[in-house]
Amino acid sequence: MAHRAEPPDGGWGWMVVLSAFFQSALVFGVLRSFGVFFVELVAAFEEQAARVSWIASIGIAVQQFGSPVGSALSTKYGPRPVVMAGGILAASGMLLASLATSLTHLYLSIGLLSGSGWALTFTPTMACLSRYFSRRRSLATGLALTGVGLSSFAFAPLFQWLVSHYAWRGALLLVSALSLHLVACGALLRPLSLREDPVMGGPGTQLTSLLHHGPFLRYTAALTLINTGYFIPYVHLMAHLQDLDWDPLSAAFLLSVAAISDLVGRVASGWLGDAVPGPVARLLMLWTTLTGVSLALFPVARTPTVLMALAVAYGFTSGALTPVAFSVLPELVGTGRIYCGLGLVQMVESIGGLLGAPLSGYLRDVTGNYTVSFVVAGAFLLAGSAILITLPRFCSSASTSKPRDLVTEAVDTKVSLTKEGLGED
Amino acid sequence: MRALPGLRGLRGPPSLQLPLLLLCLLAAVRRGWADGNTTGAKATGPSWGGRARLGPASPLTTLPIREEMMTKYSNLSLESHNISLTEQSSVPVEKNITLERPSRIELTCNFTASGDVNSVNVTWKKGDEQLTNYCINATGKNLYTQYMFTIINSNQMGNYSCFFEEEKKQRGTFNFRVPEVQGKNKPLVTYVGDSTVLICKCQHCSPLNWTWYSSNGSIQVPVDVHVNDKYAINGTNANETRLKIMQLSEDDKGSYWCHAVFQLGESQMHVELVVLSYLVPLKPFLGIVVEVIILVAIILFCEMYTQKKKMHTDDGKEFEQVEQLKSDDSNGVENNAPRHRKSESVSQ
């Protein structure tokens, strides 16, 4: 088999972008819009809201912690069979969920089965995308990740319509059919063999080599810190606005504005990441610092205009850091080890994501308002960006790194799901 | 309709209410007596009993009855309501009052006259019926009129209006209703074999009783709770009722009505239940599955086709295989391809 020296940077790569777009939509869009089912399930099973929220939490946790498994399998067998298998798993999880007669069934079907399906799809796809592009990697990643934002807009009303016509059982059945398109997306992932591949060895060797790689570990630490702070506004912004006596409609409007600027930020940053020479880690640090600053300024803002401006700024900068975060990793570990690297980072990052929202909630309970929460979130982001300075070749103008967004995406989903959970209590 | 001087309306502290009330009644009675049997000699409801009908506002008979009523029902709560009108009010002013329990009612209308206060004609009506026994009082340009009565059952519920006639007739209406029941506006969708709960809620009220009816068409049939394990009615609070229906079948679909029974009337709400069979969403599901299979087949066939084309046209060129297993590094074999062999070094 021929091994390419350089990633194709186009050609079939754009089909991979399309596949990644639909995959991020189908994995994270579904997870984010799961809140629509929340109310129905609480009524149908007559359970407490907290217990029903566990369904989504288990799904996200399995997706995040299972990422290394997906990565390892893709290293061995290539992304295509792994993603297609993941798609079948995710769809069958939803299918079984529609037949559920108790909450435990849902934990196992959606949480475990669909969660493992999602674990097998997302990470391999993003890694595959990184292998297909080098010069336009950030742009490709940014475009692919817009799938998450757009699907949240589309799926929430769609799921609501499905639930009102078919009740939650029928709606889950049809969402299962929707998730089956992951298999079609997986079919698009043509295997690509690059020059580094044979040298890299199997997944076990790659994992051990990664764990000894200093910059990789520092980068993982930085991303974990970033993740801890990143989600807090998604979870608590609505509540913070209500504390300031905003009415729910205006607050929801503000969140939509932030979501739109998030989308714009992703594409703009993707383009910028490729256009600007030098390590992409610098851009990541820029966006992370700006996000941290805008977060820390949130408590200071009182007037609606300032809050709206801050929301736009936060949305743009947080969206901007996602594709760049994906771009840094290939630069650090090389395209040969990208599958394993991505999986590992995603797993560790998720710890930050899991801790971030409850920590923020705890701070709010202790202090009575969200000021400390937002400032702490900003501090986490700034700390993460400070660690980024220690990455190699940061200060010199060497060539680019690869973006890593997997973790932030998982966090996005987790946050909006938790937000839905909180909103329904 | 002249207001008596010295009377300042019944705004005094509660301890003065009863004597002021009696004075007001006395005034009303005297006025009624003076006018003879013109308007408002009719009884306002069964609470006044047959005796009030004896004659047009016969002072000796109506006064003791009112006093009797007042003392008998003095343990009921008092509700006071107020409407302000001016000459310029273009739309009739309405006030909606929800009432659950029997109460004593005090309705006051306040009118700002533009001309002579004494030329304003004041009347009270319940629906179309004229009322008597109301007081009128004037201070400066402001005219106050007050009507007091008791509501003890559903017959006394309705619309009470005060009219002020100067040049235009101004009207203020007090609408008395029992509290409303909230249910779901959208139909409840369920599947065969599931169980569901229909909820009716009433905010800030506690009905005496709740009853459930099911209806096909216009006839309401009570829900038989004693059919084994099919229905269960329970409510966690007094202001809520839940009808749990188990083992749903297609026959259970239709409209269900919940009635909240109060001392002063009933209010009802309906909930629509739709029971679907599992085949209903299964059809679009299978359609989508077929579509995905076709899509995957197209993608894979396209790829195999382009591979075959490459194999035939680029003879001896290297090609990426469709197989999913990564093969070993076999690039030594087909070496004459002018494609992407930049350097021979395999190390990175």
Report pLDDT digits (tens) over B205-257: 888 888 888 887 788 888 877 777 788 888 777 788 888 888 888 888 888 98
Q: Are strands B121-126 and B240-245 parallel, antiparallel or unpaired?
A: unpaired
> What one-letter code names the amino acid at A224?
T
- Does B290 reach chain A within 8 Å, measured CB to CB? no
Are the CB atoms for A138 and A272 separated by under 8 Å? yes
Q: Which two tokens stand for residue B182?
A: 């909230």
The count of other CB atoms within 10 Å of the CB of residue B8 is: 12
Give me the half-sphere count of Cα atoms (radius 13 Å) on the Cβ side of residue B92.
Answer: 16
What tens-digit pLDDT sequence spans chain A (425 residues)? 467 777 788 888 899 999 999 999 999 888 878 877 887 888 888 877 777 878 888 888 888 889 989 988 988 888 999 999 999 999 999 999 999 988 999 999 999 999 999 999 999 998 899 888 888 888 899 899 888 888 877 888 888 889 888 999 999 999 999 999 999 999 999 888 777 777 667 777 878 888 888 888 888 999 889 888 887 776 677 777 777 888 777 777 887 888 889 889 999 998 888 888 878 888 888 999 999 998 888 888 888 889 889 989 998 998 898 888 888 888 888 877 888 888 888 888 888 777 776 777 777 778 877 788 888 888 999 999 899 888 876 665 544 443 333 344 334 444 444 444 444 33
- Does B26 reach chain A within 8 Å, measured CB to CB? no
> Minimum mean pLDDT among A173-177, B11-15, B103-107, B276-280: which range?
B11-15
- Does A211 reach chain B within 8 Å, measured CB to CB? no
Query: Quick check: do B70-177 and B181-277 share a fold?
Result: yes
Name the residue among B292, B326, B329 with its Cβ closest to that of A181.
B292
Are the CB atoms for B94 and B175 separated by under 8 Å? yes
CB-based contact B189 A176, cutoff 8 Å: no
**Residue B83 pLDDT:** 84
- Does B344 reach chain A within 8 Å, measured CB to CB? no
Residue with tokens 């201070």: B139
CB-based contact A167 B276, cutoff 8 Å: yes
Give A8-193's CATH code, choosing from 3.65.10.10, 3.30.200.100, 1.20.1250.20, 3.20.20.70.
1.20.1250.20
DSSP letter (8 states) at residue A4? B
CA B338 centroid distance within chain: 79
Collapsed DSSP state (helix, strand, coil) of residue A380:
helix
**Residue B139 pLDDT:** 86
CB-based contact B189 A44, cutoff 8 Å: no
CB-based contact A1 B189, cutoff 8 Å: no
CB-based contact A180 B340, cutoff 8 Å: no
Name the residue among B295, B325, B330 with its Cβ closest to that of A184.
B295
Closest residue in A to B198 (Cα) is A43
CB-based contact B326 A78, cutoff 8 Å: yes
Are the CB atoms for B224 and B211 separated by under 8 Å? no
Are the CB atoms for B177 and B151 separated by under 8 Å? no
Closest residue in A to B338 (Cα) is A2
pTM greater than 0.95 (yes/no):
no
Helices within A133-247 (DSSP H only): 137-179, 181-187, 197-200, 203-211, 214-230, 232-243
Are the CB atoms for B321 and B307 separated by under 8 Å? yes
Q: Which two tokens stand for residue B188?
A: 């409840």
Task: Kindly list the distances between the CA atom of residue A136 and the CA atoms of A391, B97, B275, in Å, as whole numbers in the listed order.
Answer: 22, 69, 53
Closest residue in B to A8 (Cα) is B340
Q: What is the 3-state secondary structure (H, E, C) of chain B?
A: CCCCCCCCCCCCCHHHHHHHHHHHHHHHHHHHHHHCCCCCCCCCCHHHCHHHHCCCCCHHHHHHHHHHHHHHCCCCEEEEEEEEEECCCCCCEEEEEECCCCEEEEEEEEEECCCCHHHCEEEEEECCEECCCEEEEEECCEEEEEEEEEECCHHHCCEEEEEEECCCEEEEEEEEECCCCECCCCCEEEECCCCEEEEEECCCCCCCEEEEEEEECCEEEECCCCCCCCEEEECCCCCEEEEEECCCCHHHCEEEEEEEEECCEEEEEEEEEEEECCHHHHHHHHHHHHHHHHHHHHHHHHHHHHHHHHHHHCCCCCCCCCCCCCCCCCCCCCCCCCCCCCCCCCCC
Give me the half-sphere count of Cα atoms (radius 13 Å) on the Cβ side of residue B292.
Answer: 23
CB-based contact B300 A177, cutoff 8 Å: no
Name which of A119, A65, A70 is nearest A347 in CA terms: A65
Residues in chain A, overall count: 425
Are the CB atoms for A350 and A64 separated by under 8 Å? yes
Residues of chain A with CATH 1.20.1250.20: 8-193, 202-395
- Does A43 reach chain B within 8 Å, measured CB to CB? yes
What are the chain B neighbours of A192 within 8 Å (beta carbons)? 320
Class of CATH domain A202-395: mainly alpha
Q: Which two tokens stand for residue B325?
A: 């297993």
Name the residue among B289, B329, B343 with its Cβ closest to that of A198.
B329
- Does A12 reach chain B within 8 Å, measured CB to CB? no
Are the CB atoms for A411 and A349 separated by under 8 Å? yes
- Does B300 reach chain A within 8 Å, measured CB to CB? yes
CB-based contact B296 A184, cutoff 8 Å: yes
Task: Kindly list the distances between the CA atom of residue A151 and the CA atoms of A32, A48, A93, A148, in Å, as whole numbers in the listed order.
Answer: 9, 28, 20, 5
The count of other CB atoms within 10 Å of the CB of residue B309 is: 11
Give me the half-sphere count of Cα atoms (radius 13 Å) on the Cβ side of residue B293.
Answer: 6
Are the CB atoms for A258 and A311 separated by under 8 Å? yes
Name the burial class of residue A410, with classes exposed (0-12), middle (13-18) and buried (19+) by CB atoms within 10 angstroms of its CB: buried
The count of other CB atoms within 10 Å of the CB of residue B121 is: 10
Between chain A and chain B, the number of residue pairs with CB atoms below 8 A apart is 110
**Residue B142 pLDDT:** 84
Name the residue among B281, B295, B318 with its Cβ closest to that of A173.
B281
Are the CB atoms for A159 and A37 separated by under 8 Å? yes
Q: What does the domain layout of chain B look like in residue ranges? A: 70-177, 181-277
CA A406 centroid distance within chain: 5
Are the CB atoms for A70 and A123 separated by under 8 Å? yes
Class of CATH domain B181-277: mainly beta
Are the CB atoms for B268 and B221 separated by under 8 Å? no
Report how far residue B309's alpha carbon sits from residue B86's, in angstroms, rounded to the nearest whole number: 91
Q: Which two tokens stand for residue B245?
A: 């229906």
CB-based contact A4 B340, cutoff 8 Å: yes
- Domain made up of B70-177: CATH architecture: Sandwich (2.60)
